[in-house]
Structure 1
Amino acid sequence: MTKAKLASWNRAKGFGFLSLSSEPKAKQLFVHVSDFSDKKLDPEKLVGHWFYYTLAKDKQGRPCAKRLSLVGAKPAFSGKSNDPGKRAGLSAMAFFALLGALVLLHKLPIALLVFYCVLSVVTFALYALDKSAAQAGRWRVQEAKLHVFALMGGWPGAMLAQQVLRHKTQKQSFRWGYYTTVLVNIAALVYLLSPYGEPMLLQVNHALSSILP
């Protein structure tokens, strides 16, 4: 691995450039926020610092930097605890436990619980696929598709993926979009549990029963 200095960073867009020499007009190399090995680093605060990197190409064949690590930083051990990931896991478990309790109380159909589980697994897989594509410079999963699956009921899987995979946690506009899908889901669930939503709940149960085995 070679090393270069981080010359600039755009927090809003999540990318910056490495300077390949000390000359004022030195050639610069593109780097995306997802390409830092340590996801806890704040690149904006590290402009002017040196990084080790691996030279690669993006999906258009242009040179870019991958697997950046701060020069002089202590190695991160894989066994280090991931507190946000644990909290996301506990939150997802609490939500599914609530759904399970509502199913046992005959407030919700079991088909809805199964639907949430399936959508969460699929959404987590999409996040993992997008992260892998970002690291390899391949075509990415569209952000709109990630939001659609979260909106359909996969938001617990999206929450878990964001924190466990450390993916899609920097872009604020995406985060607000995700929060919107969560609020819409919770509002819809509250409505279905209300007396006004009972007819729709019956329709949802019928529709899901025809889809799920």
Structure 2
Amino acid sequence: MSRTGELVQWNNKGGYGFVRDGTGNDFYVHISKLAEGEPRPKPGDQLRFDIATGRNGRPAAINIVVTAVAPVPERSMRDVRRLSDGVPRYQIGLRTTAATMLTLLILLAIATDRAPLWLGTIYTLMGLASALLYRFDKLYALNDRWRVSEANLHVVDFCFGIIGGLIAQEIYRHKTVKPRFVAVTWALALIHVLGLAMLALGWVSIALP
């Protein structure tokens, strides 16, 4: 007679664990005893199985069928606690440096009346918009959902959102590995640095009211 129970322990590398039936008894599970075509189980999955004598003389589960898959918990930004593999820390720190440089150039240009105050407002608003897009994209990536396109991220960064984009990349450790994306990000940052530097130094000007 078949029994049902929950997989309470599972060693994915070794392919074995224990299933607990409704009476609280645990039975040894080995991946070789799964019915043909069944997926590799994980803790929390509901199993249907038969009982047979195992190698050590104790009851073990055989003819195992996964009847219900355990729900995957929703992941949040708290799960992002370490840098992505292969990303040197200095590369991440450069984003903060670049964002700080851009901010100082904006303040200098405004303080010397070489740029209007609304320019700083635009950079602030678009920076917030860019940071939110990166946050949403990171959350979507964590939970295998629809993603914000890389083109949209670049467009918002180009349209004065670059400071928020750089800060978000560092805070969320997102979009810091893919070479093509990184190259475009730094190209956009360079464009804004050059433009703001020319404003701050008085090489170009924006008509003030």
Shorter-chain TM-score range: 0.5 to 0.7
CA distance in 2, matches of 1:36, 1:105: 41
Alignment-derived partner of residue 104 in structure 1:
111
How many residue pairs get aligned? The number is 139
Q: 5 Å matches for 1:62-211?
A: 88-89=95-96, 91-192=98-199, 197-198=204-205, 201-202=206-207
Conserved? CA contact 2:114–2:202, under 8 Å: no
CA distance in 2, matches of 1:90, 1:183: 13
Give the RMSD, CA atoms, in angstroms. Answer: 3.5
CA distance in 2, matches of 1:106, 1:192: 10
Q: 5 Å matches for 1:22-41?
A: 38-41=82-85
After TM superposition, give the deviation of residue 134 of structure 1 in Å: 0.6
Unaligned runs of 5+ in 1: 6-20, 29-34, 43-81, 207-213
TM-score normalised by length of structure 2: 0.54
Conserved? CA contact 1:162–1:169, under 8 Å: yes
After TM superposition, give the deviation of residue 187 of structure 1 in Å: 3.0
- Given the superposition, is the C-alpha separation of residues 142 and 104 from structure 1 closer, same or farther in structure 2, using an over 3 Å criterion? same
Q: Secondary structure at the match of 1:108?
A: coil
TM-score normalised by length of structure 1: 0.53
After TM superposition, give the deviation of residue 140 of structure 1 in Å: 0.3
After TM superposition, give the deviation of residue 36 of structure 1 in Å: 8.3
Amino acid across the alignment from 2:158 = L
Unaligned runs of 5+ in 2: 1-8, 14-30, 33-38, 41-78
CA distance in 2, matches of 1:113, 1:153: 9
Identity over aligned pairs, percent: 25
Greater share of residues in helix: 1
CA distance in 1, matches of 2:11, 2:183: 35
Amino acid across the alignment from 1:112 = L
CA distance in 1, matches of 2:11, 2:136: 28
